[in-house]
Amino acid sequence: MTNEMYEAYGKIFGSDTDTESFFSPGRVNLIGEHTDHEGGYVFPCAIGFGIHALARKNSSGKLRLYSLNFDREYDSPFEIEYNAITDKLTAPRSWVNYPLGVAKILMKHGRNLTSGLDILYSGNLPDGAGLSSSAALEVLTVRIFSDLLGLNIDGVKAALYSQEAENDFVGMHCGIMDQFAVSMGRKNHAILLNCSTLEYSYAPVKLDSHKIIITNSHVPHSLVGSEYNLRRQQCEQALADIRKVREVSCLCGLSPNELDEVSYAVKDPVNLRRALHAVSENARAKRAAESLKAGDLGTFGRLMNASHVSLRDNYEVTVQELDVLASLAWEFPGVVGSRMTGGGFGGCTVSIVENDRVKTFVDHVGAEYERLTGRKASFYETEISDGAGKIAG
């Protein structure tokens, strides 16, 4: 927590006394992309970048919000009474839709919001990079409400409330992965999560001789305005076709061989490719977790590479810049594996790189990426962190 935040809090809210500190990480999905909304497995981890908040109760009964990332031009917080939260807002200050959605969902589920709150947010997650800044903001807000108002919301419930806020208030029909990883992260572990049942287990990620490098393509990552919802509709239609010939609960309830057996039922070849990605990626996620548990980093890296190829060719959510970054990483000595991460249509890649090759990796990939695309990339070396919560002390 920086002195700047305390100074800004005092300026915006009158004083910085009696505040509590909170942090919510971003997430990177190591493998298992676009399987969460099809009832499959994902394998994400929380990262060291995220969003900090200072918060305290107020006597006004209003929710008062300010972001150092988005509100610098304003001298006062956005404020609203809880019962006035109805529909999402348009610009300006549309970022407040994420905490407003959380408040509305909490009230929908009978959570008693007994006091107003003054909350100041400040994050170092690149906006639009696909590292789940929206999920981090949602889960962070749930944690603040839970702690300051004594709501006793556990980690799984915090993830579910946050997902519902994004689905029903913000209008982004995401799966549970992002919010779950942000809420339930564990230091130096990834989470193998069954998105159909919410059963989960932690797998230790032992990277003593390697680093996780996130590369930002600086192609803006915007899912609400993208074809994300269309991809979900295409998967839903593929599932509806398959159900005419076989009983199955979700796409990821099929193995790759089982999908092949019923592929004739899917009339649209585009929809079949979408289903093929979901089913094959689900199998890759499970195998990847097994590989890490066995210490087989080589197999894990090959699965990462195959994941990107499927996201490029079958699900068609990569863009040229992401494909360039992945290809440059695949060709570089000392890279175990590399793939796009997040929803796609821009954002980041994640690579696992040998410790002593990190600097040359950054220099080489950065220079070649700029030469080939005209864009500058940003690189982030990250650790795997705990999930969202109050900061002790």
Helix axes 297-313, 320-331, angle to 10 degrees: 150
Under 8 Å CB-to-CB from 277, ≥6 apart: which residues? Answer: 34, 310, 311, 314, 315
Q: What is the distance in angstroms between the CA of the first residue and the CA of the last residue of the chain?
A: 11
Helix (H) or strand (E) holding 85: none
Which of 178, 241, 296, 323 does the annotation list as catalytic? Answer: 178
Q: How far apart are CA 335 and CA 212, in angstroms?
A: 10
- The bridge status of strand 116-123 relative to strand 41-58 is antiparallel
Q: Please say if 118 is a catalytic residue.
A: no
Neighbours of 247 (CB within 10 A): 7
How many other CB atoms are there within 10 angstroms of residue 220's CB atom?
A: 14
Measure CA 284 to chain center: 19
Contacts of 176 (CB under 8 A, 6+ apart): 36, 159, 160, 163, 193, 195, 198
Phi and psi for 101 in degrees, rounded to 5?
-60, -40
CB 266 within 8 Å of CB 238: yes
> Which residues are known catalytic residues?
178
